[in-house]
Chain A
Amino acid sequence: MLSPTVQLLPLAIVAGMFALFILSGLRTRSRQASEYGFNGGYTGRIGIGAAIASNWMSAASFMGLAGMFYLKGYFAMAFVVGWTGGYVLLLVLMASQIRRFGKFTAPDFVGFRYESDSARTMVACISILITVIYSVAQFRGIALLVSWLFGIAYIPAVVLAASIVVSLVVVSGTLGVARNQKLQYFVLIVTFILPLMLLTRKLGYFWLLPQFGYGAAISDLQQQFGFAWSEPFSTVSLFHWMALCFTLMFGTAGLPHVLSRFYMVPGIRDARWGVVWGLFFIALIYWSAPAYGVLGRLFEARGGIPFSADPGSADMVILSAVSNAGLPLWVVGLLAAGGMSAAFSTVAGMMLTGSASFSYDIYPRLIRPTASETDKVYAAKGFFLILAAVVMVLTLKPWGMIAEIAALAFALAGNTIFPAFLLGIWWDRANAPGVIAGMLSGVLITFLPFLVGDALPVVSRLLPPTSSAFIGAPVVIVVMVVVSLLTTAPSESIRRFLARDVHDCSEE
């Protein structure tokens, strides 16, 4: 939906939203400094939930999911189930236990649990790789929005998007802006649901709960235009659906920026209930996202607009649906602001974490062992710019839609970090050689379809690039178990720590 002109009103809404975040962040910072000290504010279970949800919401959830529904119909439900079901795994298997380890990052956790600097460095490298892939999805979202807002083509929009991201991070860092995640979630949910309610009302469907109201649009599409949404597995096999769904779930429980929410929560009980609230807030978006895809299709069919299989158009369906419905421009501006907010906060957070990981886990260990604290700060800043440049170049020619790009990051996390954490917490015999062999296998499995997929189609069928952890994660777990059993057991101290501090093994 490229328009040759600058969209002034939506642009003003987007700029106003960022100004609001910066002002609110400055206020939050001063309040935390005066009331809570350096530990930050205690926000309660709903606050933790809002933080989990806003941390989670990215361009993939805000824009990509609706695009997948628009293009692939029921297949996109695998994203809904995968991105919510993963939190069940996270809660029951990891949330409390991670907190008991008392570490601050994924490399910290793995380095401590497996007593290995090599494993620690490896996790840092994998985390950075995940950051790069995930950030490409966010950059693509930002670039598509920038392209529409400024009326420019995709390639210059990518460069402009990268400049905006770097500038905003530098401004926020210079001013010391704290992230107000409750406000951010509030903005996300309002900018996503309000336009959808207006859209459903315009069509005369049940607009108070558009999450159910869009059902009538599915039958209208079928009856009036012969478009069938009722053959869920006609184009995609049941195996492929399951593979994607479970990959996303394993990946959710292995993504470093998701796990990071649990390292420093004030209390285990609040952390657990925070997951429930977070899942509810996330589900509010996911219950609604299919409606945009379905209504987008319906408006196109009614307007005689030919269906486009172009991934760029599909990723922009939330905007085009509202635009084709003839709703006021400020409504489209709201959606653009929400999408920009979701993508920007995710990419900024991940790239800053990736840079910190480089400067503390890789730079002083592999590149410059004598690095001082000042050197590490410069290394982090330099690496942030390198990351932004790499991500920008990759975004110029992305390998899929926003949700598909993000799914690759989930596959990598599901094949590497998820098994490392799972066995690290629940099996005291897992050791450093086991986790290193397992994570190497995981990286290989993730990228195998790209390496040999053309020559061996069976590899691409069994391990689709976006869905490889369904088979990959169990294989990696087996590799970890076998290698661990064939090598020396971990030290007595770490096994005692697991038994006494992580799990309560006492007999009453």
Chain B
Amino acid sequence: MKYYLLAILYCVINIANSQQNCTHILSGNVHDFHDGSPMSGATIYIETFNTYTTTSINGDFTINNLCNGTVTLVVSHIGCKTKRVDIQVNSNTSYEINMEHHTEALNEVQINSNGTTRLTRTAQETQLKTKALERFSAFSLGDALNQISGVSSINTGSTIIKPIINGLHSSRITTITNGVRLQDQEWGIEHAPSVDINAADQISVVKGSASLAYGGDAIGGIIITRPANPVLKDTLYGKTIFGGSSNGKGFNVNTRINKNYESGWFSQLQASYKKNGDFKAPDYNLTNTGLNAKALSARFGKKLFESGFEVYYSFLDNEIGILGASHVGSAFDLERAINSGTPVLVKDFSYKINEPKQDITHHLLKGSYFKRFKKFGKVNLQYDYQNNQRFEFDVRIGDRRLIPAVDLKLQTHSLLADVKLDANLNRKINFGIMTRYQNNFANPNTGVRRLIPDYDKYDFGTYSTIQMRLHSDLIVDAGLRYDFNRIDAKKFYRKSRWRERGYNTDFSNIIIKETPTQFLTNPIFNYHNISVSTGLNYSFYKNHKIIVNYSLTSRPPNASELFSDGLHHSASRFEIGDIRFNKEVSNRASLSYAYSQSKFNFLVETFYNRLNNFIYLRPLDFIKTIRGPFALWEYQQTNAELFGLDFTSTYHFNDSLLWQNKTAFIKGYDLNTNLPLIDIPAFNTENEIVYNNAAWFDFSASLKSDWIFEQNEYPNFNFDIENRLNGEMITIDISSPPPAYHVLHFYSEATFGLGKHTHLNVGLGVNNIFNTSYRNYLNRLRFFADDLGRNITLQLTLNY
């Protein structure tokens, strides 16, 4: 019977077809891809007939009187990407159209009212966009992040800039570049992040660890850099930046080319080169502070709304000169350098980079794939490999000057799977797992005992976060993460050190080999960490917003804190780790209040961070060596607290004139000794007046004042050593912070159209206008020389 009916139907259709009867009906339904809900009021343009229709409250539409053939519909809806579909009609046809939220597709994350993308809704997050980043093309990631209130940096000279977020740095900050967690020996205080700022299109900084998907050990914060999102359009575009700077006679070139296709294929190639010679302080040259930096990144893939993949590769090679005057021997040398007030080594300008210097190369390769499932969400898979090679060359005698004193190769493989359930836009769930294997190889050919031993490290992490919109003005979120870390090291200990540390009583079972002077040991440590984060985001009376967050985070001690054992040049000290350390645990609560109005807006971010088993370095003893006396700095564990307030406000006098203030205040204390913590940024306030005139080639000019106060709360770690020649006691003042300083900067730019899609931006800046001499408490070379003098920069940015 069924077949009979079908046969009849077939005949009817065939007859209809043969008669070219234009009576077919196309009935359709428009749905939201995410949750399958019907979309009412969507506009449907029937290209074939040049007519319009709209969908009903149920998302339904009907088009009558269609002939055999193809019907082209263009469907649009507010907030969605316009969709074009070709439908073959040979009979009465029904068709289902799934619409995607355009903004969601572009950013993968929520969009707030200002149109900026956010990772989480309850974290203290700040973003830097393309425009803000382009100005720092000639500088580093750390320099760019310094623009954010509450973010500062700990520097080694002017080219090694390590970000500090709310007083914490190094291993306590996680850096994510294009979805990959950077593994670049970040434990070292003079190891700058291996990131070329030119490869980033957008940078987010999250204070604290509220974003658990990226790791559970980011006690200080998370830095996320992202490349530009591909656009679904057949297009070829690019950008080239040329820059020059007077101080250091530096120049930089960066160029980027993007090719995109409407089919979703995209590719991008980017390369940059920076070079400068010796920088200059107002009164003298900073000999051996040159930089030679090369970077390259390439990516291609296919990105559609429903699925996509990406292959990404980046390479970076930085050769960095370290201020020659900072190479000191014994504590006497350090004392002479501190008290002389000027660097002991000053030579004529040169581009040559001598020892001491660093040479770092970093390769990163990533492959990722995602697929969206209707009424479910998005699944993302990623594999990445990183290879970080660090050479540090010291001032050495004889042929050995060509051999690095530090030669570390760190290789990391990571595998990630992440699922985002966003079928219900009011309740988003995210969960995933991460596995990582890492191998560190310390080359023994340096002829210097290894700073960090050879080790294998295994990490496993799993997390789940949920974000709920309880009300149109109220969002709450919560997250839970578990991490397992295992470090399996092979370390040589000199027998004298082994006994001095008392390891012979506690760790005799880990000795696997004995040589005349050293023990080879095999320490294996496992750490289990639980991280929690929860918060809420509440908007009220239209202009007000409150964000509250609490997070619990644990960080296992890093290789340096566990195993350090050796002389640190430029600090003139021995640094000794401790294998007895436990993980560091942070409880951080934060509260933000934002007020925004057309003319005036401000943001106050406060936090309190309680750290248990906080690891830090302090001088505790001396060692009398053949080179004179040296201070012995030992890693210690204590309980500590940090609290602070970051303030950002903007006032628009009129359309063309605005004033902006950024102020940060932070305190940190060691709760066991009641001493202030070392290296805490002093109170600082930045005021800027910006004038802009869009009608005049988008001209803008700004004057910025940076006022850094003297840090009056610091631990007094000064020590006295005896000059055994005459019995005199000499005080080594390594603690006293430099006085407050104030510097003024100027920047102006204008953009000129050179064609339909081509425009040229010219930027002229003067840093430290009055050539003020100053030293920064957070510059590790402050003992030896002043900071940079006046620097005039010119930058041409060509977009095409």
Partners in one complex: no
Q: Contact residues of B with A, CB < 8 Å?
A: none
Q: Contact residues of A with B, CB < 8 Å?
A: none
